[in-house]
Each structure stands twice: as C-alpha cells, then as structure tokens.
Structure 1
Amino acid sequence: MTSSRNIRLFLCLAASVSADSDSGSIWPPSDVYWDGQCTACPAKLYSHCSRGGVLVGERSCGFGGMYCEGKCTEPLLSGAPEPTLYWDGQCTACPASLYADSHCALGGTIVQERGCGPAHAHCEAKCRLPPSAPTPQPELYWDGQCKACPASLYSHCSQGGTLVGDRGCGFLHVLCEGHCAKPAPAPEGADWIIVGGGASGCTAAAALADAGEDVLVLERGYSDLDVPKTEFANTWPEVVNTKAAQNIRWNDGTWGAVANVLGGGTEINGGLYIEEEPEYFEKNFGQDFNTSQFYESSRWVAEQLAEPLQPSSYGHGFVRALHEAKAGSLDPKPSLRMSSNSSWVAYSTFNTTERTWSRRGAGDLLHMRSDMTNLRFYTNYQVMKINFENGRATSVQVQNNFKETVTLAARKGVILAAGAIFTPQLLQVSGIGDPALLRDLGVPEVVSNPDVGQNFVDRNILNFGVWSSERGPLNVGYAMASNSSSQITFETEAWGKVASSFAIASLALVPPDQRTELLRKTMTPLFEGPIAHVMDNMIQFVALNHQTFSRGSVTAVSADARKPPSVTANHLKDPRDLEQKFTAMAALQELIESQAMADLVGAKSFSGVNAVVPVYLSCIQNGPQTDAKAIIVPCLPDAPASREQYIEYFRKTTVSSYHYFSTVSHGKVIDGPEFTVKGTSNLHVVDASVFPNPTRVNPQGTIMAMGHYIGTLLAKKEKARQLTEMV
C-alpha cells in the first residue's frame, strides 16, 4: 500500500469533472438529478444540490437562458464517504487505460486522463477511490400529491421519509409536488462492532481488518469529508468552533469540547503525537500489559500518520528559553517518545512542510482501507445501547438521523471507543453501572459496578497567552520539555488564530459561572474585529501537570444516549492541584522572561485599540500592571498580589484541557489483557477512559496506539482460537 504520507496531497489534487449528461463516462454515476433551482451562473459558485450530493454539471435556464440549473449526484444518506477523485501524479505511456497497473497508486479505478510530460506525449490518470462498502442508496420517490407551494410548509411524503425537493405541478405549475427520500438501508451486523470512529476506534478497526476480521465502525458524528476544516492543519484551533466538535458545559461552569466527526479528536486537536515512557504503562496497567507490543502499534500508527515537526525562528527561541531554564538542550532531537528531564522535537499529524498544511487524522486509516470488503464504517449512526445475554454482548441498538432504530448483531464482540465522556454513559444506559443510578434511569441492571463514570480527569493545566512582537505561521509544540521534579511538561502553540479561537471555545477570560452560550456569541465579533490583530499575535505557553489529583464524574441523565451526560470535573478541589498551579506559573514566567524570549514578548500597551475592551482584557489596552514583563492573558492580578488573589485568579481562569481520562478505569471497570469490561465476556474498551491516570504528555499518540494494540491482541486471540478448533 502506498504510504499515507501522500494521501492528503492526492486528495487535495482532486479536480472537478465535466459532466455532459450524455457522456456515458464512468463518472458521474448514472443516479443524478437536475436540481430544479434556477439561479445565477456558474452553478458551482452558488447554492445548488438542495438535497445533497455533488455538483457534476449545469445547464441554462430562465428567461433568455441567463441563469443556471445544477446537475447533482444523488446524496449518500448513509454517511459513507462520497467517491473521491484524484490526479495520480504518474506520467506514463498513453492511453492510461491500457497501463492501469502504472496508475491509481492510492487504489480505485481510472475515470479520466490528460496529457503530461514533454509535448504532452504521455498520460496522467484521474482515479476514483472506491467507496468504503457497497453504498446503501436512499429510495427516492415523487409524492404524487399536488399541493400548495412551497412543499416544505405543507404535508407531503405520504410514504414516509424526508422531503428533499419539489417541482411545479397542476395548472400553470402553481402548485407543488414533493420529492422524498426514504431512509437509506441500515448497515448489517459484523463479527466486531466498534462504537466510535475516533482516535482509538479507527486504529482498532485497522488492526482487526488487516488481520482479516470482519469489522463495522459506527460513528455518531459527521464524516470528516463533510467538514473541510478537519482536512487542514492551519484551521486549528478554529475547527473546534465548527460542527466537528460538540461543546458541553461541565457542572463546574467550564466548557468541554468533544469530537463529533469521523476521526474523533485527531480531526480537531493540535496534532502532537508523543509516546509515553514504559514506566507509565507498568504503573497504570500492570504486568499483563505487553509494552513491546504496544510500542510496535505506536510505531505503526506513527509511520502511517506522523512526522517530526519542522523548526521555525520562534521554535528555536523557545529551545533557547528552555535551555536557560535548565529544562532542555540547545539541540533537541526528533523523538516519538517523551524524555523525562530533557527536551525533544515532537512528532505531529500535521504536515508542516506542505503549503496546504494538511492534517492526517485517524479517519484516514479507514479511507485508506475503503476497498476492503471486511471493513465498513458509517457516520451519523448513534449507538443507543448494547444488548447482552448471560454477560455476553450480542448486539447494539442504533438510531440514524431519521430516528429509525435497528439492532445490529455482533457475532464476536463489541469494542467501545466513544471516549471518556460517552463510553461510561453508554455503559450506564446499557445496564452497567451504579445500581442506584440504573434504577433512576429505568434501565435493567446487567452488571453492578459503581465505579463506572467515576474518577473523571480533566487534566490540570496552566495556559498563558503572551503578546508577541512578531507575526509568524502557526507553530504547535515544536520543542517540548518534561521535568520530573516539578511534574510538568512544557509546550507552546504560536500565532495563527490560536488565542482568539481558544478564547471563544473555552470562554476562559471570564469566571466559570459567567460562561454562557450567549457570551460565546458576543465574544466572537470582538475577537474577530477590533482586537484580532492583538489576539492573533499571541504565543501560548502551556504547562501540563503530570498528575491531576481532583477527580470528578460522568453520569447519564437519561436512558436516551443522545442526551449528553452530566459532567463534573471538580477543578482544583484537591489542594495539591492548587500548589501545582503556583509551580507551573513560576516555571512559565521564567520561560517568558528569559533572555531568549525578550525580543519576542517585550511588554507593550495597546491604548489605541478602537474598541470598548472588557475588563478581562484590560492588560492588552493598558499594558501589564503586574510583576511580569509581558502582556499575559488571562490578565494576571495587579501587583502586588497576595497568594489569596492568585488562588482566586486560578479558580476564575480554569479551563478544560480537552484531555479527558479515567471514567472506565483499568482495574476498576475493565481488566484482563484485552481490556474486557468486568462481568462481561466480550465487551472491550480501548479509549482514554481506561487510563487510571492522565498521560504526562498530549495523549493523542497513546490513545491511537492503544486502539491498535488492543485490536491486534483481539485478532491474535481469535486466530489462536480458530487454530485450536482446527486441531
């Protein structure tokens, strides 16, 4: 298989296809429709394809043929990805159709070709990637009822389904007939059903499918191909404020963000891919954990999706600052694995060497296997509960966007990969949890386990935004350092729209009890307007505490899995976390005030900002009134500040880390080498909820590797079982 390092490049080269209705070419497919909307030309610049699909052609319409009507493919309501086209990049003999083995390096079939090379004497092929599975098509029908227009306001679709269009009917076409879509056929069961197509679910699916196992992945969110901002690195962290993420307000007032897209957090995060050290796994997972096998999985994932971050002028400045603070060397080397008491250059799923700044998320692992008949994945399918017989998970109940519920059989097992928020909720609504809670939910008890949903960790972090005199490209975590004595890992995130996007997402600049959705709407125009040039020049200095002592909970509030659970983080409830804040603040200030950073973060006031600046941004307008030598946001207390004032500052500026762990902890809720839920025989969990303690670095790499690791173990166990039965 061609290395995944090129897949985003090929996908970005996909071009539009000419679509003469009588061409008879392989693409576009035969199931197309004329949109019926007569609007401005060209159609590709205006709104067409009212019921979904892809624009593949247009024709003149309206008075004098001055307007355009679009020709579109029928939508794929199942959530399976649209067929993706790409120019192959291989210039070989013509015609390309006679040399198929020399084209379509990413798989698929040739649908078009063009001249290339000297005098265009050779050919390059355009290829169509195969769909992930035989695509269930919706059944479309004209309703036959001629009623008042527009159809959307009146009763149509007498056979059920959803209105997707209409057309004129009756005398002078003054009435309307509805065009309706019945729900697409539901997916079928599989040997293994994976709930959640995120960081760990996609890697587990790849491991099982590559071993020949039959796998179905069900993702509640959108396809990553339907959210373009997930495709590129330079849209981070703005992508957190799109439909790819679901914002949930903790009971503490802080806002969490949970992925709502195929690929999970890997499609909306900062891209860092870092391995934990062996001691972490030995401490948290015991002797049954096969560390060498885990690192094989980690290296496999990294080979598919990650590469070392590239240096920048700012990155070198931070390296020197770490060296001044005796936290790292002047020449850190690329390393997948973290290094205690040293600095290193991290790996990332961001390709920072390409002009397109592509992101390689976990969803790519499924798209790359879209031609495998033993792997199927569907988006917009919410798993409502897991069904059991005598402790064995036998099926899952799913609901699609049409609110139709079906039951899918799991012949060998179910793997939960829904994350530290939704995995415990799904266990609870399926009958595994605290008996008192199950009674309140009206859910029959399957396994009594009060630890389900407990021990929730929203990592303790400290994040300072510091105004920089330079403007540069987005730079995430080029150099990192870990200090075991202070129990802190340092990283930076610089420039772009980092500060303003995070401020909108987390509402970090006001106290938790004031962080409402209304405030988010009022902050957006402020940060995109008068002070954007200030906020977008911020460097983010981040201190990740290795341990978080305050623990919270995740609790289902309804037997309906579509309703978000109640989440309590209990930020800073344990006084040890407050002490960590003071340690982190001192360490970050030392870095910020280092000689190496002096030219970048020198203090300056912005009294000329043409806006009424809220009090929480007063340090931007007036300059620092503190002991610090730089503008730090959230604004520090005015000097001289007491310990009590800083404690109040920490409480008022606490935000979610977006690093969630421990709600289905190993040893309490799961056990055994394959992470099996206690009281069951074939229900496994592979996401961050199984970690008893947070990783000491960004968890993306560890979570992805964990999914592949457990998937590999399950595949090996199944292979051994089959061999035993043959003997």
Structure 2
Amino acid sequence: MIQNIRMLAGDLSNSMQSYDFIIVGSGSAGSVVAERLSASGRFSVLVLEAGGTDRRFYVQMPLGYGKTFFDPAVNWNYKAEPDPGLAGNVDHWPRGKLLGGSSSINAMVWIRGSAEDYDAWAAAGNSGWGYADLLPLFKVIEDNEAGADEWRSVGGPLHVTDCSRSVHPLTARYLKAGQEAGLPLNPDFNGASQEGVGVYQISTRNGRRMSAARAFLRPAMKRKNVRVETQALATKILFEGSRAVGVEYIRNGRTITARAGREIVLCAGSINTPQLLQLSGVGPADLLRSLGIPVVHDNGNVGANLQDHLGINYTFKGKVPTLNQLLRPWWGKLYVGMQYLLSRSGPLSLSMNNAGGFFRTDPQLARPNMQLYFQAFSTVIPKNGERPILTPDPWPGFSIGLSNCRPTSRGSIMIRSNNPLDYPKIVPNAYSTEQDVAEMLAAVKFVRRIASMPAMAEIIEEEVLPGPSIASDEDLIQDFRKRSGTVYHPVSTCRMGPDPSGSVVDPRLKVHGLAGLRIVDASIFPDNISGNTNAPAIMTGAKGAAMILEDHK
C-alpha cells in the first residue's frame, strides 16, 4: 500500500513527509533504484538530490564535458589533500551535483569491467555478485547499437553507441600502432575479453548524453508515486535505536524531515555516502566523538578503503591535422556547432576518448592491469575556469593516456567537522605502494612503445609531454607523480563483505549492525573494477533494487 505522501505547497518544515522508500542521491545508481522501486506502483518513493536539473545544453552535449569540469552549478568540485604520492599536488575531484550525478558530467565511456573482477567479489564471500550473476543485469540495462549477442543486448533503457564509424581518422593509426606493439584488435571490450586496442562504446543516444537520469529517472518522474526534490542536501539519517527511520535535509534554507516506512537507500556515491553516514553517527567512533557526534554504530570501515584509478597523458605534436585545427578557430567552432545543432553529429557528439584498450605490464599477469585512452586533440595550454577541450592547443596535437586498473594503494574519506556543508577530507594516498609505482613505470614505457611504432611514428613531429629529456626511470617516476591524477573512479569507501570487521554492507547491501538502511552505489565495490566505473555503478543500482524488491514482496 502506498503510504500518504504530503506534497502540499507551503512550509514543508512544519510537516512530516512519509514514504515507503527514501533514496539519497539521483546519480548512476540512485536513478536506477528510483525507477525500479516505483515501477509497480505499490511503493511511494522520495528522491533527494543536492544539485539541480540536468536540462542544460553542455550537460546534454557529449563534448560539453569540458564546460562542466569546474562548473559549481553542476559539480561538487572537491579537492583532495596535498598528496606526497603526487609530488604534493592537490588533485581536482569533480563529482556530479545534479540529476544523474556523475553520469551527467562524465566522459561516457561504457566499460563493464572484466569478468574476473566480479568473480573475485563473489570469491571473497559476496554471493550473487559473480560475473555470471551480473551479466544478465548488464544486458537488460542496455540497448546496444552494436546489436545483440552472447554479451550484448538491445531494447534496454540505456542506449550504448557504437562509435566505430564516427571517430577521427587518426584513430585508425592508433589502432594499427597498438597492433604493431603486440596488442590484438578488440571489437568489444565488454565482450569475450578486455585485452587489446579498439574503439570505445559510449553512453549516448542520437548525439545526446545518455545519463542515468535520462535513461531511468526521467521516466520514473512521470509516475505519481515518485517525488524528486532537487537542491535538497541530506544532512542526517535519523535513527530509532539501531533502525534508520528518516532523513533530515535542507532545501531553500529550511530543514525538512522525511520518514521512510520501509527503507532508506543511500546512493550518494563514494564521497557523499560515507560523509552522510559519519554525520549521522555511523563510522569510526573516535573520529565521531572528537567532532561531537553521538555514535549510533561504530564501524571504522566507513570512509576507509578508498580506491581510485590514476591516469596520465603523453602528448605529441603531429605532422598532420588533428581535432585541434577544427575545434580551436572560430570558424571551426561554428562548423562543428552547426553540425551538432542540425544533425546531432560530429566531434561534439562524441567522447573525448575516441579509442583505448587494455594491456598487461607483465606478460606473466593473468589479465590486463592497465587501460589506454586515445584522444585526437591536445590540451597542454590551460584555460581559466574550464577544461579546454573545446579550445585545444594551437598546434596539431594528440594524446595517448593510460590509467591503472587495480591499484593497491588505499586512502580514506573522512568528515572534518559536524557541519554537513563542510567538504570531507579526501586522502587518496596515490602511488603509496611499490607495486603501483612499478606498474605505472612499465605502463608509461609501453605508451612510448606504441608511439614509436611505424603507424604513429611517421606522423609524430615531437613528444611534447613529458618530452624526450625525461628518459631515466627516476625521471619517469618523478614525471608521473607530478602530472598524473585521478581519472574520477573512486570506490570502496563503504565496501561490501560478509564480515562486519572488514566491510560496511553485507552482500545484500544492508548496513552491518543497522536496520532499514542500505547502500547502493559504487562505494560498496569490494575492490575497483578494470575500467570506467559508470556502467558498474548503474548495474549496482539494478542489482540493489532487485534485492530490495525481493525483501519487500
């Protein structure tokens, strides 16, 4: 039975709203959870989103990613602590603050991760999370332009675009060079194997970003049993004993309380979910007491075990034109702009990453441990206030980038105070293990190997970054410490596991030691996956929603 939903206009701070489910966060997972829990019409659902609308031109235009990279209207713009592993640098951590969350501002590369990633989750005691369990969920989510086969599916709510006919001509040279360097050509990184080079599939449809909000939340918002509150910052989970019963949030300067008759589902992401738990008294007891927060449940894993992928670009000046010559001049901007507005095609309809791949830094490894990215433009020269994707360098440049897939370094995300408006303290501990340093050293050498292959070498005038003077192992390590940083895949800050001493949620995503509270977002990943994290986060939303519905038949 749908509980009473009070949606009357007026001062909501004086009324008590009541719903079956309250979902905190409308991002990659939260949008899916909202759609699935509301589909039957049996349950009332409240979605709290701290940001605003996703109906913005540069959000919907795929290459508008550069415009949202620092935009406080749609981006939390977090900063990590100065990191010794990154030569003391303060890393920029963009996170989506709008409907769709980070799926509304990301680079849209659609990668599921390797089968071995999920099988390792299951082997660690997380029953139901093996690749064979999750492949049907990935397939039912997708409407893959490449067609249906053993791994792909069509007809799902989220369209996945096959870009193989649309990428820049230089991409063909990159793919040939990768093969000359010993990697196979891989037509589908979400298929039988990840290893090799190929063109990336992206989450777009008809030249527009296909965020989780567009695929899942917008359809759910048409239902009478769904209420979405934007500009609604959740500040505290309310408990009665050890049971979560409500959420306190701020909207338009007013403090509002909403109660959940069945469950509260945290989908706020790897930064905001542990932050909200800690503000609510769930986390490391000593930290909470030091900040004057009453301890509801002591769990030192809340905010710990932070994992992230680190990346770096090697940038080259070419002898042939790149996208720089099209995107930088006014006439080029006019051309691609008209092309996009009239036909939703051209460079503005694609990701910055046309292609990429996966490789092993050691042939003895059982599977790839590094990811590649190819960008047919370069952005060495900075531009104030935005990432200069739409205003690239004045010379023909392109980049080959990479990121590590399964780093062993671990960091943390902890609150600084009991004020929910204060950003938490993000400590990545980048390159804090010898293994991570050794793997990245081998990886950057392989990038140079690709660039030295005939298909690429014949059109390269010079290596711009880091430049040929950076040659020794010591210099290469110093360079990637100075220049690399997050590729925006933080996970595991509320990790899943059967043992409460080493995790935050159980394999059904229920918070250990508490009732009425689940976490369904990338913070529950036991370990990071091999590749971009948006697709796995959306899958987690589908998996979590299915378990919630099973428990509330």
Same fold (TM over 0.5): yes
Q: Which residue, out of 371, 381, 392, partners 1:490?
A: 371
Does structure 2 retain, via aligned residues, the 8 Å contact 1:425–1:555? yes
* Shift, 1:390, TM fit: 2.6
Looking at structure 2, the residues matched to 716 and 345 of structure 1 have their Cα atoms a distance apart, in angstroms, of 38
* Shift, 1:343, TM fit: 4.0
Looking at structure 2, the residues matched to 398 and 482 of structure 1 have their Cα atoms a distance apart, in angstroms, of 43
- Pick which of 692-701 and 294-303 moved more: 294-303
Does structure 2 retain, via aligned residues, the 8 Å contact 1:490–1:541? no
Q: Residue in 1 aligned with 2:298?
A: 448
- Say whether 1:236 aligns with 2:65: yes
Does structure 2 retain, via aligned residues, the 8 Å contact 1:254–1:654? no
* Shift, 1:492, TM fit: 2.5
Q: Residue in 2 aligned with 1:271?
A: 108
1:518-557 maps to which residues of 2 (within 5 A)? 532-534=393-395, 537-557=396-416
1:384-403 maps to which residues of 2 (within 5 A)? 384-400=235-251, 402-403=252-253
Q: Which residue, out of 632, 647, 651, partners 2:477?
A: 647
Looking at structure 2, the residues matched to 338 and 378 of structure 1 have their Cα atoms a distance apart, in angstroms, of 41
Does structure 1 retain, via aligned residues, the 8 Å contact 2:69–2:75? yes
User: Aligned-residue CA RMSD in angstroms?
Assistant: 2.7
1:599-678 maps to which residues of 2 (within 5 A)? 599-600=458-459, 602-603=460-461, 630-633=462-465, 635-636=466-467, 638=469, 641-667=471-497, 668-678=502-512
Looking at structure 1, the residues matched to 417 and 296 of structure 2 have their Cα atoms a distance apart, in angstroms, of 17
Q: Residue in 2 aligned with 1:298?
A: 138
Does structure 2 retain, via aligned residues, the 8 Å contact 1:419–1:688? yes
Does structure 1 retain, via aligned residues, the 8 Å contact 2:285–2:295? yes
Indicate the SS of the match to 2:36: helix
* Shift, 1:214, TM fit: 2.2
Q: Which residue, out of 526, 532, 547, partners 1:692?
A: 526
Q: Deviations over 1:260-302 (max 9, x none)?
A: 1110111111111122233211212435124445222222222
Looking at structure 1, the residues matched to 317 and 15 of structure 2 have their Cα atoms a distance apart, in angstroms, of 52
Q: Residue in 1 aligned with 2:357?
A: 481
Looking at structure 2, the residues matched to 642 and 471 of structure 1 have their Cα atoms a distance apart, in angstroms, of 30
Q: Residue in 2 aligned with 1:250?
A: 80
Cα pair distance change 1:335/1:642, threshold 3 Å:
closer
Cα pair distance change 1:500/1:643, threshold 3 Å:
closer
Indicate the SS of the match to 1:453: coil
Indicate the SS of the match to 1:281: helix
Larger Rg: 1
Report the AA paired with residue 177 of structure 2.
A
Question: Which segments of 5 or more consecutive residues in structure 1 lack a partner in the other structure?
Answer: 1-132, 140-181, 505-519, 604-629, 720-727
Looking at structure 1, the residues matched to 313 and 15 of structure 2 have their Cα atoms a distance apart, in angstroms, of 45
Does structure 1 retain, via aligned residues, the 8 Å contact 2:109–2:351? no
Q: Residue in 2 aligned with 1:627?
A: none
Looking at structure 1, the residues matched to 509 and 106 of structure 2 have their Cα atoms a distance apart, in angstroms, of 26
Looking at structure 1, the residues matched to 443 and 176 of structure 2 have their Cα atoms a distance apart, in angstroms, of 19
Looking at structure 1, the residues matched to 267 and 119 of structure 2 have their Cα atoms a distance apart, in angstroms, of 22
- Say whether 1:563 aligns with 2:422: yes
Report the AA paired with residue 141 of structure 2.
V
Cα pair distance change 1:500/1:203, threshold 3 Å:
farther
Indicate the SS of the match to 2:261: strand
Report the AA paired with residue 53 of structure 2.
S
Does structure 2 retain, via aligned residues, the 8 Å contact 1:232–1:358? yes
Report the AA paired with residue 568 of structure 1.
V
Report the AA paired with residue 540 of structure 1.
S
Count of residues paired in the alignment:
485
Question: Which segments of 5 or more consecutive residues in structure 2 lack a partner in the other structure?
Answer: 83-89, 144-156, 324-346, 363-367
Indicate the SS of the match to 2:307: strand
Report the AA paired with residue 190 of structure 2.
L
Looking at structure 1, the residues matched to 15 and 522 of structure 2 have their Cα atoms a distance apart, in angstroms, of 29
Q: Deviations over 1:98-152 (max 9, x none)?
A: xxxxxxxxxxxxxxxxxxxxxxxxxxxxxxxxxxx99865x6xxxxxxxxxxxxx
Q: TM-score, normalised by structure 2?
A: 0.81
Cα pair distance change 1:326/1:346, threshold 3 Å:
same
Q: Residue in 2 aligned with 1:76?
A: none
* Shift, 1:598, TM fit: 3.2
Q: Which residue, out of 347, 361, 365, partners 2:201?
A: 347
Cα pair distance change 1:632/1:549, threshold 3 Å:
farther
Looking at structure 1, the residues matched to 406 and 162 of structure 2 have their Cα atoms a distance apart, in angstroms, of 26
Q: Residue in 2 aligned with 1:259?
A: 96
Q: Deviations over 1:222-250 (max 9, x none)?
A: 2101x321111121233212222121221
Cα pair distance change 1:706/1:337, threshold 3 Å:
farther
Percent of aligned pairs with the same residue? Answer: 24
Indicate the SS of the match to 1:583: helix
Does structure 2 retain, via aligned residues, the 8 Å contact 1:665–1:691? yes
Report the AA paired with residue 371 of structure 2.
F
Looking at structure 1, the residues matched to 464 and 209 of structure 2 have their Cα atoms a distance apart, in angstroms, of 30
Looking at structure 1, the residues matched to 540 and 192 of structure 2 have their Cα atoms a distance apart, in angstroms, of 16
Looking at structure 2, the residues matched to 343 and 666 of structure 1 have their Cα atoms a distance apart, in angstroms, of 32
Looking at structure 2, the residues matched to 583 and 309 of structure 1 have their Cα atoms a distance apart, in angstroms, of 30
1:278-289 maps to which residues of 2 (within 5 A)? 278-285=115-122, 286-289=125-128
Q: TM-score, normalised by structure 1?
A: 0.62
